[in-house]
Amino acid sequence: MSHMSTTSTSRAATTTPTPASARVAGGVGGYIDDRTGAAKAVRFGLSKVFPDHWSFMLGEIAMYSLIILLLTGTFLTFWFVPSAGHTVYDGSYVPLKGIEMSEAYRSTLDISFDIRGGLLIRQIHHWSALLFVASISVHMFRVFFTGAFRKPREINWVIGSTLALLALVEGFAGYSLPDDLLSGTGLSFARGMILSIPIVGSYVSSFVFGGDFPGEALIPRLYVVHVLLIPALLVGLFTAHIMLVFLQKHTQYPGPGRTNSNVVGYPFLPVYTAKAGGFFFIVFGVTTLLATVAQINPIWAYGPYDPSPVTAGSQPDWYMGWLEGAVRLLPGWLEFSVFGWTFSFNIAIGGLILPGIVTMLMYAYPFLEAWVTGDKREHHLLDRPRNAPTRTGLGVMAITFYCLCWAGGGNDIIATHFHMSINDITNILRIAVIAVPPIAFFVTKRICMGLQRRDRELVLHGIESGRIVRMANGEYVEVHEPLDEFRRWELVQHDAHRPLPEPDATDEAGVRRPGLRAARMRAKLSHFWFEDRIEPVTPEELAAAHAHGDHDELAGQTGQPAISTSDTSSALQDTDTTSGASTRH
C-alpha cells in the first residue's frame, strides 16, 4: 500500500502543472485535514486495491439500488399522503372520478397522473425495489457458493443476511402503502398470518391494526416503518457492511499471482472510481429505462381497497412469493383446536415458522461449516463452487426448495397458463418441495465432482488439439497440448478437505471423554461433507502422466482420479496438512 501511495502522489505531482488550482485544492484539503486528519482516510480509501470480477458487481447493484430507492423514495414522500382518511377522487384519471377512496390511494393516483414525472419516479422506485431484493439474493448466492462467508467474514455474512431480511420487510411495507385493492389484499394476508400466532394472535392483530381490520391506523404506522425505521436500519447496517469490506479487503478468485495474503486488482482511484461510479449510473439508467417502458403495479387498474372483492391472480411482489407458496401448499388439517384454543399451523408454518427456520439456517451456516471443517484459518481466496461440492449441493438444495415454494405461490398462474388442473399442480408441488431438494443436492454434488474430474483430466492430459498423428505402428492418436502454468494453477490450487476422524471414546486414562456426543456428531457431519472428494493433481501425478505419453492416457475413462472414500486414520493427519496451505506459498 505504501508503494501505491508513493506512486500515485508522484504521479499527481508531475501531472498537475497548474500551480494555482493545485494551491486551491491543497488549501481546501489542508484546511480539512488540519481539522479532521482526513488525509489518512483518503490515503487508506483511495489507494485501496480491489480485485476485478463480474460477480463482484452483484453486490454493487444492491448498493446502487438502495441509493436509487432513497432518492426516488424521498421524492415520493413530497406528495404521498399516508392516511386512510376517506376522500372522493377528483383527479385527472377519468374512470375513478367520484369514487370514494383513502387519501393514500388518492395521493398515489395524483403522483401517477397529476405530478409531472411522478409516474416515472414511482415506477423507478418500484422497479428498483424488485432489483434491490433480487441483487441482494444473487449477491448472497455468490458469497455462499464461493465460500466468501468464511473467516474473517462471518460477521459480514450475518449483517448481510439481516440486510436481506430487512429488504423483504421494507419492500412489503412499501407496496402495501398505496392502499389499492392488491396491496390491501396483501395486508389482509399479513393479518391472517398475524391471527395465526398461537394464543396471542388476535391481540397482536388488534394492536397492529389499531382495532378491526383494515382500520385507519395501519397506513400511517406502516409509513413510518417504511420511510424511517427500516431505511435507518438499512443504511446503518449497510455502512457497517461496506466498512468491513474495506477493512478486511475484498476476497479474490484464485489465479496465478493471487494468494491468500495479497489482493490483486486495480486501485480505487482512478479505475474503480470510474468503473464503480460509472456502474451506478448504468444501474440507475437501466432502471429508469425499464420504468419508462415497462409498467409496474398499475394501482389505478385495481381500484381502492375494499375487503369484499378480490381479483383472481392476485400475486405479491416476487420476493414474497415463496411464503405465499408455502401457505398455499400447506394442507388444511394442520389446523386444530385444543382446550378451546385454535392453532392454525396451516398458516403459521408457512408464514412464521418456515421463514424463522430459513433465517436461522442462513445465519448459522458459516459457523456450522467452520465447525464441521475444523478450519480456523482466514480465507481470502474464494472457492470455485465445484471445489466445494457439498456446500454447493446444499446451496442448490436450498434454492430449489425456495423456487418450488415460489412456484407454489403462482400455482394459479401456472394452471391458467398451461391449462393444468390447479389441484394436480398443488399436489405435485406438495410432494416436490420435500422430494426434489435432496435430489437437487445429490445431482449438484455429482456435477461438481464431475467438473473436478474434468479439471484433473485437463491438467493431466492437456487440451485436445484436434491434431491426429499416426504412430509408427499404425496407431492414430490425438495430440494433447499441455496447459500453460497459469491456466494450470487455477485448476490445481485448491485444497480438498478431508473428513475429521472418529473421536476416541475414552482418553489415555480410559476415562470417557467429555463432549463425546458432540465430537461424534461433528465427525459424522464432517464425513457427510467430505467423504466424497477429488484431490487436485499433484506435480508427481502430472509428471507420471507425462512420462507415459499421451496415448496411454487416452484410456482416461478407466483412469481414476484420486477420489477417495473416507479413511479416518489418515484424515487425522490431514488437518495438519491442509492447514499447511498458508505456508506453502
Partner 1 sequence: MTQNSPEGTGDVAMTAPTQPAISDSTDAGSPVDPGELATIPGTTVMVSRFENPGLAPHVHRLADTDPRAAKRAERQVAAMFTLSIIGTIVFCVSYFAVGKTDTVWLPGIGTTLLQNLLLGAGLGFGLFFIGIGAVHWAKTLMPDEEIVEERHTLRSSDEVRDDAVDVMKTGAAGAGLGRRPLIKLTLGGALGLFGLPFIVALRDLGPLPGDRLSHTMWTKGARLVTDPELAPIKAADVTVGSVFHVMPEGIDKVEDVLEQRAKAAVLLMRLSPADILNDKEREWGYEGIVAYSKICTHVGCPVGLYEQQTHHLLCPCHQSTFDVTEDCKVIFGPAHRPLPQLPITVDTDGYLIATSDFHEAVGPSFPERG
> Of 264-283, which residues contact partner 1 (CB under 8 A)?
264-267, 270-271, 274-275, 277-283
Alpha helices by DSSP H, listed for 314-388, are: 321-329, 345-348, 354-373
The CB-of-188 to partner 1 minimum distance in angstroms stands at 5
Q: Select the span of 36-44, 129-137, 142-150, 563-571 touching partner 1 (CB under 8 A).
A: 563-571
The CB-of-460 to partner 1 minimum distance in angstroms stands at 10
Q: Which of 107, 135, 156, 344 binds partner 1 (CB under 8 A)?
A: 344
Report the C-alpha dihedral over residues 184, 188, 190, 194, rounded to 10 degrees: 150
* Residue (of 129, 307, 79, 103) closest to 220 by Cα position: 103
Positive or negative: CA dihedral 161, 244, 580, 447: positive
Q: Which of residues 350-389 bind partner 1 (CB under 8 A)?
A: 378, 380
Q: Which of 33, 60, 114, 502 binds partner 1 (CB under 8 A)?
A: 114
**Interaction between residue 574 and partner 1 (CB under 8 A):** yes
Alpha helices by DSSP H, listed for 531-561, are: 539-547, 549-553
User: H or E stretch including 301?
Assistant: helix 299-302
Q: Which of residues 454-483 bind partner 1 (CB under 8 A)?
A: none
Q: Select the span of 222-230, 334-342, 508-516, 521-529 touching partner 1 (CB under 8 A).
A: 334-342
534 beta partners: 563
Q: Which of 96, 111, 119, 354 binds partner 1 (CB under 8 A)?
A: 119
**Interaction between residue 289 and partner 1 (CB under 8 A):** yes
Q: DSSP letter at 256?
A: T
CA distances from 580 to 261, 417, 584 (A): 14, 57, 6
Q: Toward partner 1, which CB reaches closer, 125 or 380? A: 380
304 beta partners: 180
Q: Which of residues 208-267 bind partner 1 (CB under 8 A)?
A: 208-215, 217, 247-249, 256-267
CA distances from 12 to 6, 19, 175, 367 (A): 10, 12, 49, 46
Binding mask 419-438 for partner 1 (x = CB under 8 A): ---xx--x------------
Q: Select the span of 33-41, 331-339, 360-368, 394-402 touching partner 1 (CB under 8 A).
A: 331-339
The CB-of-190 to partner 1 minimum distance in angstroms stands at 9
The CB-of-552 to partner 1 minimum distance in angstroms stands at 5
The CB-of-376 to partner 1 minimum distance in angstroms stands at 12
Q: Which of 129, 429, 448, 571 binds partner 1 (CB under 8 A)?
A: 571
Q: Which of 15, 95, 333, 472 binds partner 1 (CB under 8 A)?
A: 333
Instruction: Annotate 420-435 with b (16+ C-beta within 10 A) or e (fewer).
Output: eeeeebbebbbebbee
The Cβ of residue 568 has, within 10 Å, a number of other Cβ atoms equal to 15
Q: Toward partner 1, which CB reaches closer, 359 or 579? A: 579
Total residues at interface with partner 1 (CB under 8 A): 152
Residue type, 113: F
Q: Toward partner 1, which CB reaches closer, 26 or 331? A: 331
Going by C-beta distance under 8 Å and a sequence separation of 6 or more, which residues neighbour residue 468?
Answer: 476, 477, 478, 479
User: H or E stretch including 564?
Assistant: strand 563-564
Q: Toward partner 1, which CB reaches closer, 46 or 399? A: 46
Q: Which of 27, 29, 85, 117 binds partner 1 (CB under 8 A)?
A: 117
Binding mask 144-183 for partner 1 (x = CB under 8 A): --------x-------------------------------
Report the C-alpha dihedral over residues 295, 298, 300, 301, rounded to 10 degrees: 100
**Interaction between residue 9 and partner 1 (CB under 8 A):** no
The Cβ of residue 397 has, within 10 Å, a number of other Cβ atoms equal to 20
Q: Toward partner 1, which CB reaches closer, 27 or 270? A: 270
Residue type, 104: A
Report the C-alpha gap between 222 and 151 in whole angstroms: 38
Report the C-alpha gap between 161 and 144 in whole angstroms: 11
Report the C-alpha gap between 243 and 250 in whole angstroms: 11
Q: Toward partner 1, which CB reaches closer, 33 or 541? A: 541
Are the C-beta atoms of 404 and 429 separated by less than 8 Å? yes
Residue 434 backbone phi and psi in degrees, to 5: -95, -40
Q: Toward partner 1, which CB reaches closer, 226 or 258? A: 258
Q: Toward partner 1, which CB reaches closer, 99 or 237? A: 99
Are the C-beta atoms of 168 and 133 separated by less than 8 Å? yes
The CB-of-571 to partner 1 minimum distance in angstroms stands at 7
Q: Toward partner 1, which CB reaches closer, 239 or 292? A: 292
Specify the residue for cell string 470480477: 53
Q: Which of 26, 85, 198, 236 binds partner 1 (CB under 8 A)?
A: 198
The CB-of-70 to partner 1 minimum distance in angstroms stands at 16
Q: Which of residues 81-110 bind partner 1 (CB under 8 A)?
A: 92
Q: Which of 332, 466, 474, 510 binds partner 1 (CB under 8 A)?
A: 332
Report the C-alpha gap between 65 and 68 in whole angstroms: 5
Compute the residue count for the chain: 585
The CB-of-262 to partner 1 minimum distance in angstroms stands at 5
Q: Which of residues 497-516 bind partner 1 (CB under 8 A)?
A: 498
Report the C-alpha gap between 425 and 439 in whole angstroms: 19
**Interaction between residue 6 and partner 1 (CB under 8 A):** no
The CB-of-379 to partner 1 minimum distance in angstroms stands at 11
Specify the residue for cell string 497440448: 481
**Interaction between residue 44 and partner 1 (CB under 8 A):** no
